[in-house]
Structure 1
Amino acid sequence: QPADMWVDSIIRDILNNSTIEWWFSNGRILSQIAEASPRCYIKYLIDDLKKEDSIIKRLFIPKANISFMGPGENYTNVLWSLRMLLWEEEFFLPVSLVLMELSAIENNTNSADKPLETLCAAYTIWHPQTYVNTNQRLQTLRTLCHKYPTQGFSLCKRLVDRLDHSVIFPTKPMHWRRFEQERPKVTNEDIYESVGSICQLMIDICDFSTSQIVDILEIADQQAIGQSNREPLLGFIIQHKERFTGNYEVTNKVRSTIYHHKSYPESNWALTADEIGKWEGLLKDIEAKNPIQKYRWMFKDIYLETLAINRVDHDFQKVHKITLEIRSQVLKEIHNAKGLAGITEFAQIVKCQSIVGDVYALLCAEDDFEKILRLTQTETKLLQFVKGFFQGYAYRFGVDQLINALKRIDVEKFMDVIHIPLTAIGASKRVWDYVETLPKKISTQYWTDVIIETYESSDEVVFIVNQLNAVQRYEASIDLIHRSSKYHSVQIPADVIVETIIGLLSSQPNDASRTIWYELAEIIRLIDKRNDVDREKLFFIEFVFYELLEQYGDTDHLKLIDEIMSTPQSLMDILNFMYLSSDPEERNAELEEVRQKNKQTYALLAYRLISDIRRVPCVDRTNKIDEKALKNYITQLRELAGVAHKLPQIDHTIGELLANYPEGGDYPPTAICEIIENLNNKEVNSGFRTRMFNKRGVTVRPALEGGTLEKAESLKYKTYANKIRFTYPVIAEIFDTLSSEYADMAYKEDTRTKIEKMEF
């Protein structure tokens, strides 16, 4: 039709002249563009994917940085448009080919919004998101698998994996190109045919890689696909078993499957004894004969998957004993065949080599002790094995016996590694006493690496904190102080805590330190309540960490805030970080000081603290104002500001602080009105008005509500103004101005709502 041709020409010109910036900018309307001219849209994608500098491929490269809201990938809108086109028979194959091409782009993000997942939604056996019928989908799937066997295999696996637990996210077809189109109904016969065809397709395109063989095994034991489909899959593996005899991943998968089903034989999902018998026969045929490979599976985890252990029996000691006996027999067999060299060879191929070391501590010969320690000098890959060995040795024979064994070793030969067995066995006074007898280098390395637990003795905690601080492990010290104080009520001297926190500041903690921020905030709040703390150091700590403290609770009554709300000089000290003098010479000196001493950080901290404070000087916790003290406080503060040539800025701050007084039935208070009226200062008035306006914060309202909230605010300020209109005209004018501004905002909100209602 001429109209279609005209639209096609427009869309074709737009796409052919598009840049990657165009795709970024027009992501929200890509579905409309695709629906306006599907053929042109698909043809552009196909042609673009053939180019070396393909725009679409660049869009589908996942982002490196992920925010807390998720990856927000650039390709999401393109996928939405392709999901829509997959509904149509005419475009089903070409769009599927495009998605297969895009799925070849590596994407390891933890997101379901990927090309292969989009295909999975359209091809889902039991609820396909397309108008294409079952036979057409299977034909298309075969085409895709033979053209893209690797991606096709992954798609087939997704379609039949956990079929009885699968879910689908509905997608939307075109809005105005299709009317009253119905999705083909999927019958049980269709599902049965689809599962059989897909399973056979997996066999046909399997490349015999370990990952694909494991995938087939993962499907071959699932009840949902039916026995008639399980048998060909397992039969395929059995037929080609010589290809992966001795393959650890394959044998491990077979063994885990057998254990899984035989552990719960009465379950509905468990395979019959006959089927399990075939799996057991396969395992026997493909299992490695070399003990180093044969028993590798026993050390893949702390948990040992074997039917010799009754997992229903929750006697931990009994289970642990049996596990240890089984693993000990394995290591004995390896040791008898190849000695310690065999043990270390075995440790390097298992997943949990520390368990190998732990178990071997039961079997080791006396001369193995020094040999194993020497391994840390020559084989860095065996570090976890060595640590596991010493942990097991200390656990079974005692710390004293381990230390006695270390004393028989020439320390000079093992100067760089002797700390390893000491750090592996945990921290205790017996170990610390021995460490103190060793050269300083070893002692330093020990305290750098040792893992600290929780201690109930104040002397022990203080000793450990001092040792950790000496090697600049301030984060570990903070963690220990927090745990010991919170869980064991250990009283730690305030000076130790303060010096640890100041040390943390000097060490420039990185992002990893954020794991202890909450603990640090609790510790600072704890010492804030104590009276044995150096006040100057406490004020400095609370100033630096004020924003952190504000995140984890109320800060209004910290000692720092009490100080600056009662002492004008203390507030002025903080304001001096924020503002520069108006005197040229003083200003230049302050600028030079900022450049030299990096006081920009203090300026930012001071700004955040002053902006956050919601207290008024000389006002107690019941909101009672000491009028005489408040007037004296403001007078002294303004005098200090005048000397520092910073009076306008300080006046603005005074106005903000006065606006912090909580609003209630008798608001505004006479004392504050008197001060503002007597000062009648432009900067004070501006600061007061600014803080009053900002106190409102963020508002949330229902849709189409209009300016109800703003009307309430306008009425509130008009009420305040009317109370003092004939006594305090300066502050009444401020309230009148705020009332007028909110009335204007209410009018704009009402107007906007009327326009929005017209759209519905």
Structure 2
Amino acid sequence: MFDSHWLELPTEDEKKDLHDKAKIVSELRASSLSAIYQAERITGIECLIEVCTEPSIVGATLAGVPWGEGYWMEWIQEKLESFDNGTHMSACIAGFLRTAASPAPDALLKKVVELGKQRGWPSVRLASFLTLAIPNRETWQLVESCDHEVNTEYWDRVQPYHQTNDEDLDFVLEQLLKAKRPMSALYCCQFKLQETAPGKIFLALQQLLNCREIDGPKIQSWHLEKMLERLESSGEFERLALAQLEFGLFPFLQHGRGDNASALYEAITSEPELFKELICAIYKPEHGERQEVTDASRATAGRAWDVLHHCKRLPGTQSDGGIDADKFIHFIQEARELCSDADRPTMCDQTLGQILSHSPADEDGTWPFTPAREILESPELEHMRTGFITGTINKRGVTSRSPWDGGDQERDLAAHYRNQAERVQHSHPNVAAMLDQLAQGYERHGKREDVEANLRKEGF
């Protein structure tokens, strides 16, 4: 009866709708509690609370029986001193406080606070009891009537669920941020982002990078991305501040892909100095002394690598998706100069090549588009062409096929890249050779797939 929220009713009752079934279950539970109370009084109820699986159901049922309030007053007088949070009894109390109609829960809370003050309860104990109540204005006013320590302890512990009232939500966020609980604050506002002040979202996300909330709720990457979209669309923050925030949050965004870190990628592909800093964070200089690697520098390097590895935005990209060729070329030239001065030219070129692999095609279908071909054609940029090949292979992602299909997919890709190579073999021979190298690689891959498919057909 009190071990599960859902009860299996007799066949006739099971045919009724949910409302009628819930009413039948409530009546059965109330009748059972009344019988126990009449026979064993408070001792019988307490035994039930301790042995049942869902003591909160007992509390919720007590809220609906005529003698329920009297039970709690009797319990307060006899057992309050032995109360401890995190027990079956505390779960039962929470069930009562969150189910009973006003003013019963308010009266119980006020009585407990009064007795707690009289008996010198520590602030932690009193605050823990108050967290069992519904987190609403009435409870918060009672919390504020206590001393500062109780208030602090309460907001360090309470788990407020989603607030429907905008004023209440704003108040809750303010208190949680004061308590350095960014995960709880973000959890409360994740479904009401448009009603939440962007400044509070920004502050909570900043706290998330600097504060570790123990046992805080988990925030899905999808919600974090929507929060960043809210900040970007608000127009209240500098792009650099948003870029720094997205860099810190990058591991949490789409499992590291960070597809929605638009401010970060705009900064990286617009500011050559920032691009250079990321290259320097990842790669050691090619000559001279190398700095000692620390845990902090290793973590920064890993995050910077993830960011650049997933960069699909080309330099010079405009708000309408078009690419300014002059800005495109200028960024690559300046980034190469800065990285060369920092003694990291090779990995700079390879990284730029991987980014260029996301280039669009020209209007006639020739790929990559003309500004990228002009850059990649330079004889000295062999490392950039190597990076382009790596990026092109990597962006293909995971493939699926029948176990007996062989390498048809790879042969189609090889034909595509060979066709592109033929288009530019006279105007851009180095780019054509690069594309032909891609085609040859996929042809070899296709042959391996053929061998494996044939082996599977023969039962190996």
Is structure 2 residue 81 aligned with structure 1 residue 374? yes
* Aligned-pair CA distance for 1:724: 1.8
2:342 is matched with 644
Query: Structure 2 vs 1, CA of residues 546 and 458 (structure 1 numbering), >3 Å: closer, same or farther?
Result: same
Shift of 1:563: 1.9
Aligned length: 448
Give the match for residue 468 of structure 1.
176
Asked if 1 retains the 8 angstrom alpha-carbon contact of 2:250 and 2:307, the reply is yes
Match of 1:577 in 2: 281
Q: Is the 8 A contact 2:97 2:105 kept in 1?
A: no
Deviation at 1:357, TM superposition (A): 4.1
- Structure 2, gaps ≥5 residues long: none
**Correspondent of 2:432 among 714, 727, 732:** 732
Give the match for residue 393 of structure 2: 693
Q: Which residue of 2 aligns with 1:504?
A: 208
Match of 1:344 among 34, 38, 46: 46
What per-residue deviation string (whole Å, max 9, x for no partner) do you get for residues 530-556 of structure 1?
Answer: 211353442123223334333499826
Tell me how far apart the structure 1 counterparts of residues 57 and 159 of structure 2 sit (CA, whole Å): 19
Aligned to 2:55: 353
Partner residue in 2 for 1:493 = 197
Inter-partner Cα distance in structure 2 for 1:759 and 1:389 = 65
Distance in 1 between residues matched to 2:8 and 2:338, nearest whole Å: 76
2:443 to 743, 751, 760: 743
Match of 1:721 among 421, 440, 460: 421
With normalisation by structure 2, the TM-score equals 0.83
CA contact (8 A) 2:222 2:254 kept: no
> What aligned pairs does 1:516-535 form with structure 2 within 5 A after superposition?
516-535=220-239
1:387·1:420 contact (CA, 8 Å) conserved in 2? no
Q: Which residue of 2 aligns with 1:417?
A: 125
> For 1:693 and 1:320, how far apart are their aligned partners in 2?
61
1:402 and 2:100 aligned: no
Corresponding residue of 2:37: 332
Say whether the 8 Å CA contact 1:625–1:671 is kept in structure 2: no
Most deviating of 360-369 and 603-612: 360-369
Q: Which has the higher contact order (CA 8 A, sep 6+)?
A: 2
Partner of 2:140: 432
Give the structure 2 partner of residue 201 of structure 1.
none
Q: 1:673 aligns with which of 373, 378, 383?
A: 373
Larger radius of gyration: 1
Q: Secondary structure at the match of 1:563?
A: helix
CA contact (8 A) 1:478 1:516 kept: no
The structure 1 residue matched to 2:246, chosen from 501, 521, 542, is: 542
Q: How far has the Cα of 1:482 moved from its partner?
A: 0.3
- Is this contact kept in 1: 2:135–2:160, CA < 8 A? yes
Aligned residue for 1:395, secondary structure, equals coil
Opposite residue 350 of structure 2, the aligned amino acid is H
Q: Label 1:612 to 1:302 Cα distance change in 2 as closer, same or farther (>3 A).
A: closer
Q: 1:362 aligns with which of 65, 69, 82?
A: 69
Query: CA, structure 1 residues 748+382, in 2 after alignment: closer, same or farther (shift >3 Å)?
Result: closer
Distance between the aligned counterparts of 1:700 and 1:480, measured in 2?
40
Cα distance in structure 1, aligned partners of 2:144 and 2:384:
63
- Displacement, 1:568? 1.5
Conserved? CA contact 1:482–1:519, under 8 Å: yes
Paired residues of 1:373 and 1:418 also in contact (CA < 8 A): no
SS at structure 2 position matched to 1:545: helix
One-letter amino acid of the counterpart of residue 397, structure 2: G
Q: Structure 2 CA distance, aligned partners of 1:305 and 1:703?
A: 47
1:616 Cα offset (Å):
1.8
Mapped to 1, the partners of 2:72 and 2:316 lie a distance apart of 76
Per-residue deviation, 1:426: 0.5
- 1:672 Cα deviation after fit: 1.5
In structure 1, what residue type is equivalent to 2:161? Answer: E
Aligned-partner residue type, residue 49 of structure 2: A
Report the alpha carbon displacement of residue 361 of structure 1 after superposing the two structures with TM: 2.8
| Cα 1:348–1:754 shift into 2, 3 Å | closer
RMSD: 3.5
Q: How far 1:691 moved relative to its partner? A: 1.8
Query: Which amino acid in 1 is paired with 2:71?
Result: C
Amino acid at match of 2:55: Q
* Contact kept? 1:418, 1:442, Cα under 8 Å: yes
What is the TM-score of this pair, normalised by structure 1?
0.53
> Offset of 1:598 from its aligned partner?
1.0
**Following the alignment from structure 2 to structure 1, what is the Cα–Cα distance between the partners of residues 445 and 84?**
74
Distance 1:449 1:728, change over 3 A: same
Tell me the alpha carbon deviations over residues 105-153 of structure 1, each in whole angstroms, 9 at most, x when there is no partner.
xxxxxxxxxxxxxxxxxxxxxxxxxxxxxxxxxxxxxxxxxxxxxxxxx
SS of aligned partner of 1:731 = helix
Once the two structures are TM-superposed, the CA of residue 661 in structure 1 deviates from its matched residue by 0.6
AA of the residue aligned to 2:127: H
Cα drift, residue 376 of structure 1: 0.2
- Mapping 1:29-44, distance limit 5 Å: none
Q: 1:518 to 1:693 in 2, by over 3 A?
A: closer
Q: What percent identity do the matched residue pairs reach?
A: 22
Whole-Å separation in 2 of the counterparts to 1:420 and 1:647: 59
C-alpha contact 1:390 1:421 (8 A) present in aligned 2:
no
Shift of 1:432: 0.9
Deviation (angstroms), 1:692: 2.5
> In 2 relative to 1, CA 662–603 (structure 1 residues): closer, same or farther, beyond 3 Å?
same
In 2, Cα distance between equivalents of 1:700 and 1:377: 56
Q: Is the contact between residue 474 and residue 501 of structure 1 (CA under 8 Å) also seen in structure 2?
A: yes
> Is the 2:314–2:356 contact (alpha carbons within 8 Å) kept by the matching residues of 1?
yes
1:690 alignment partner, SS class? helix
State how far apart, in whole Å, the 1-side matches of 2:126 and 2:175 are.
18
Report the Cα distance in structure 2 between the residues aligned to 1:707 and 1:385, rounded to whole angstroms.
63
The answer to whether the aligner puts 1:565 opposite 2:269 as a matched pair is yes
Q: 1:433 to 1:727 in 2, by over 3 A?
A: same
How far off is 1:650 after superposition?
0.8
SS at match of 1:401: helix
User: Which AA in structure 1 matches 2:395?
Assistant: K
